[in-house]
Amino acid sequence: MSSAEKIIASAGSFLHTSIFCSPRNISCLNVTEQINSNYTIIDMLNRNNAEYYYPNAMQVLPQQDGYLTTRYLPEARAVAEKLFEVSRS
């Protein structure tokens, strides 16, 4: 992460490590409509240029054994293309 100028990722606790890097350009697939305040605080402190993208087609599936939450993204390819598009700007 410290050697990449641009980061394309899905939201997860690993993004917290960006605080230990120089400012990054981050394009993030957010799994909820709300952005976790930890990310916005770290981005502000670290001067990250971060975009959080939540696709409206994201679906939360019924609870499954062994999983806290299961999500389904029917337009996964289009979402991936959108993240690449956002990361280039």
Q: Which domain holds residue 56?
A: 6-88
β-bridge mates for residue 7, sequence order: 26
pLDDT > 80? residue 70 = yes
Structure tokens belonging to residue 71: 């999500």
**Helix, strand or coil, per DSSP, at residue 35:** coil
For the chain, give the mean pLDDT.
89
**pTM of the predicted protein model:** 0.81
Which residue is it, tokens 């696709």? 55
pLDDT at 77: 92
pLDDT digits (tens, 9 = 90+) for 10-50: 888 888 898 999 999 999 999 889 999 999 999 999 999 99
Cα separation of 14 and 76, whole Å? 22
Whether residue 46 lies inside any domain: the answer is yes
Whether residue 1 lies inside any domain: the answer is no
Cα separation of 9 and 29, whole Å? 6
How many structural domains comprise the chain? 1
pLDDT at 83: 85
